[in-house]
Amino acid sequence: MSLVNIKDLSVCYGAKTVLHNISLVVNPGEGWVIRGESGSGKTTLGRTIAGSVRHSGDVTIHFNTQSPLPATTLFVESWYRFTNLEGDRNFYYQQRYNHQQRRDTVTIARELELFGKEHALNNVRLQELIATLDYTRVLDEQLFEISSGEHKKLQLIKALWLHPQLLIIDQPYTGLDVKSRGRLNELLNAYTGNGGTLILISNDTELPACVNRFAMLKDGRLSTDETAFRFEEKVLKPLPHFLKEPPQYTTQTLIHMKDIHVRYDDKQVLSNIQWQVNAGDRWLLQGHNGSGKSTLLSLITGDHPQAYANDIKLFGVQRGGGESIWDIKRRIGLISPELHWYFDANATVLQSLASGFFDSNGLYRQLRYMQKQQLDELLKFLDLYDVKNELLTTLPLGKQRLALLGRTIIKNPQLLVLDEPCQGLDQQQTQYFNKLVDEISRNGVTIIYVGHFETQLPACITHKLVLENGRSIENNRIATQSR
């Protein structure tokens, strides 16, 4: 008997049909991958199978009553949503670096303890999963302190610990480094080998061996023809004129760090970091999950209070020398997964992009005429003009990221800090954005780009810094790739 039987499934959001007349059969023990461009309905299909979306048509799940596995479906969201101790989600970006406010959420260990008690799970299996995904070092951290990759690992550990009969994972590899992806694939193979049925929502190509079934969504319709899955390369439009203008540098050295140390209680996060970024450099910043990349970047963007306890010069000025955080931020364009988490949920697409002029979490000021002109140019350039008045949170995740990428470049800053900028983008969008970075780099902008995979990077990179356990293990110039 099939585990999942879908017949004539349709889902509409208002007047928009997201899924149209879909039929699908999933048998016990199979490993499926569902692919499609951003906005094609992949996440909606996963949530519908899990029972959380209103629909027409039939979705029937036949659990095996003789199986030792829980007769349940678990849907793992593309990112982890959590609350503080009072049940509130009202976090702000800088809070994760503020030691005085580090006791506002439970620790990872406590979160796992509560999950295990709720589902009466075996602690031995938990320890195996923690060891496999190299998660021991973050167990005493607060939920809002850890990186996007560490949040994804928490989701995956809980899901594999529960080991339901049907497991649906949306974007399983988001934020994971190369080593962690390989170990996750081993765990997913073991999951199906022990009787689980797996559905992955992903456009990644390095899938576990247990994936033996394929489906693709396009225009709300489902196809199981693997040869039909092709991304058409998107042609880069001419850059808006304002992005061709060279930055107005006031100093040749933008970042100078000497003997940088960051510690939380007994935990050393960064140790003895030496780093200099000159005008026009394009740096690649790499390191495994939890290696200290986000903390290092927070010292640059002015979000970390320990910047004042270190020898750091930004744009030629010593930190603590009288400059304000806004003096720093007006020279920087930033995108990161964490900034996306904490962004204003009530902001429209237009307001989200325009807030980049003021480094705010939403738009709270009137725009000048030239700013309005730049905003219109960029909305059209990113193909977001038609949805400019919609709430950012109502867009597919990939388009949300594109909107925030627009926020990053709208003021044509001296320094672009692109922390995993393509997280949540599909293959086509990733290629397009990296071409955009290459094109923007021609004006001489300085770039710090965080990315795990050499095949998903812009060609303009000139330097590389690699962190391991808070220390620098590589810091050098590299050969620029051919365009």
> How buried is 57 (Cβ within 10 angstroms: 0-12 exposed, 13-18 middle, 19+ buried)?
middle
CA distances in angstroms from 53 to 14, 29, 424, listed in the order given: 13, 24, 21
* Cα–Cα dist 65/430, whole Å: 43
Return the beta strands (E) in 401-470 as ranges.
Answer: 415-419, 446-450, 463-468
Domains and CATH numbers, the chain: 4-95+158-228 (3.40.50.300), 241-477 (3.40.50.300)
Q: For residue 233, what pLDDT is reported?
A: 75
Q: What share of the chain has pLDDT > 70, as a percent?
A: 92
| Bridge partner list, 450 | 285, 419
Q: Name the average pLDDT for the chain.
A: 89
Flag whether pLDDT at 104 surpasses 70. no
* Cα–Cα dist 468/431, whole Å: 28
Flag whether pLDDT at 321 surpasses 60. yes
Flag whether pLDDT at 455 surpasses 90. no
Q: For residue 92, what pLDDT is reported?
A: 42
User: Of 390, 385, 453, nearest to 425 (Cα)?
Assistant: 453
Flag whether pLDDT at 363 surpasses 80. no
* Cα–Cα dist 344/346, whole Å: 5
Query: Of 28-37, 219-228, 369-378, where does mean pLDDT reach its minimum?
Result: 219-228
Q: For residue 91, what pLDDT is reported?
A: 46
| Highest mean pLDDT: which range of 23-37, 78-92, 299-313 | 23-37
**Residues contacting 276, CB < 8 A, separation 6+:** 253, 255, 256, 257
Element (H, E) at 5: strand 4-13
CA distances in angstroms from 172 to 128, 227, 258, 289, 339, listed in the order given: 19, 23, 37, 15, 20
User: Of 376, 458, 366, nearest to 410 (Cα)?
Assistant: 376
| Phi, psi of 263, deg, nearest 5 | -135, 140
What is the distance, to the nearest Å, from the Cα of residue 64 to the centroid of all Cα atoms in its chain?
35
* Cα–Cα dist 59/23, whole Å: 9
What separation, in Å, do the N-terminal and C-terminal C-alpha atoms of the chain show? 53
* Cα–Cα dist 115/308, whole Å: 39
| Phi, psi of 434, deg, nearest 5 | -65, -35
H helices present in 17-147, as ranges:
42-49, 108-119, 123-132
Flag whether pLDDT at 55 surpasses 90. yes
Q: For residue 103, what pLDDT is reported?
A: 56
- Under the banding of pLDDT at 50, 70 and 90, the label for residue 360 is confident
Residue type, 135: Y
Q: Are 37 and 218 within 8 A, CB to CB?
A: yes
Q: For residue 230, what pLDDT is reported?
A: 66
The pairing of strands 4-13 and 16-26 is antiparallel
* Cα–Cα dist 74/166, whole Å: 6
Q: For residue 181, what pLDDT is reported?
A: 93
When pLDDT is averaged across residues 368-387 and rounded to a whole number, the result is: 95
DSSP track, 49-82: HTT-S--EEEEEE---TT-SS-S-EEEEPSS---
CA distances in angstroms from 396 to 41, 236, 387, 393, 425, listed in the order given: 9, 21, 11, 8, 10
| Bridge partner list, 168 | 75, 199
DSSP code of 237? Answer: P
Q: For residue 422, what pLDDT is reported?
A: 86
Flag whether pLDDT at 460 surpasses 50. yes
Q: For residue 306, what pLDDT is reported?
A: 83
* Cα–Cα dist 276/431, whole Å: 29
Task: Give 402-450 pLDDT, tens digit per residue.
Answer: 899 899 999 999 999 999 988 877 778 888 889 989 999 999 999 999 9
Q: For residue 423, what pLDDT is reported?
A: 80
**Residues contacting 86, CB < 8 A, separation 6+:** none
Query: 114 is written with which tokens?
Result: 């509560």
Q: What share of the chain has pLDDT > 90, as a percent?
A: 65
Q: Are 335 and 421 within 8 A, CB to CB?
A: yes
Q: For residue 169, what pLDDT is reported?
A: 98
Return the beta strands (E) in 279-324 as ranges.
Answer: 282-287, 311-314, 317-318
Count of C-beta atoms within a 10 Å radius of residue 88: 9
When pLDDT is averaged across residues 222-235 and rounded to a whole number, the result is: 76
Count of C-beta atoms within a 10 Å radius of residue 268: 15
Of 93 and 438, more confident: 438
Query: 253 is written with which tokens?
Result: 């050295």
Order of strands across the sheet with 463-468? 332-335, 415-419, 446-450, 282-287, 463-468, 471-477
Task: Give 114-138 pLDDT, tens digit per residue.
Answer: 999 999 999 999 999 999 999 998 9
Task: Give 174-226 pLDDT, tens digit per residue.
Answer: 889 889 999 999 999 999 999 999 999 998 888 999 999 999 998 899 998 87
